[in-house]
């Protein structure tokens, strides 16, 4: 059940037109790390095939290239609408500053909010979202569908939109919310100075890799919601 947001009242008092706020989306760089488990075989007997993956692997599959293909401009990102009703997992092109592919879109998005705590400069929001994975790629590499359940937290500004804060402002919530901090900004080139939240996820991905299809379980995954990429 979705809670009513007192932040909407704040937006009205500040004379910000509600429809304009609700139409806005904030996109954040979101490196991810997760474990993929697919069906394998050893000596003619079923066996787990366990593969560690990162967000760049999802980007490659979405764009029709094999996991592990180097990319510099296209990154994994999350787009939140300011109404608190939707989240998209997307491929963001940093050269064009545009979302070039939507990997998954939420079919449900539920939130609970909290006003500022001491030493935290932004209101908080916990969320749980169910996302449907799209069919993307080509006949050799791609995503054929699936679903993800994403649970996490983001920080909300006075305009009702998600915003990034200093990463060291609220480290305590990483443990409280069960959000791992192992995921690095840009997947390995250092901890971000600002972040908008963290999340963890589970789900199932239907994957096409080198022309072969497989169902990949995602029993555990971590995602950091870092700096804002675009309005």
pLDDT of residue 15: 38
Alpha-carbon gap, residue 118 to 70, rounded angstroms: 42
pLDDT of residue 43: 94
Domain residues of the chain, as ranges?
6-230
What are the 10-residue block averages of pLDDT along the chain, 231 residues in total? 38 37 79 94 94 93 92 93 93 93 97 85 92 96 97 91 82 67 52 82 95 95 90 71
pLDDT of residue 158: 87
């Amino acid at each position: 059940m979705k809670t009513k947001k007192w932040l909407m009242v704040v937006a009205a008092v500040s004379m910000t037109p509600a429809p304009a706020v609700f139409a806005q989306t904030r996109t954040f760089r979101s490196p991810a790390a997760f474990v993929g488990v697919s069906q394998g075989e050893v000596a003619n007997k079923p066996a787990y095939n366990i593969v560690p993956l990162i967000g760049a692997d999802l980007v490659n599959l979405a764009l029709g290239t094999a996991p592990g293909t180097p990319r510099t401009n296209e990154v994994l990102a999350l787009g939140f609408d300011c109404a608190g009703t939707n989240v998209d997992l997307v491929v963001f092109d940093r050269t064009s500053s545009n979302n070039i592919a939507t990997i998954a879109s939420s079919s449900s998005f539920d939130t609970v909010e909290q006003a500022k705590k001491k030493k935290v400069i932004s209101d908080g929001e916990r969320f749980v979202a169910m996302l449907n994975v799209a069919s993307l790629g080509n006949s050799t590499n791609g995503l054929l569908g699936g679903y993800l359940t994403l649970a996490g937290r983001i920080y909300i500004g006075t305009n009702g939109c998600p915003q990034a804060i200093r990463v060291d402002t609220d480290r305590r919530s990483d443990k409280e919310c069960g959000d791992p901090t192992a995921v690095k900004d840009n997947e390995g080139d250092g901890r971000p100075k600002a972040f908008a939240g963290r999340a963890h996820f589970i789900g199932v991905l239907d994957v096409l890799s080198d022309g072969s299809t497989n169902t990949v379980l995602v029993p555990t995954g971590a995602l950091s919601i870092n700096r804002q990429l675009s309005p």
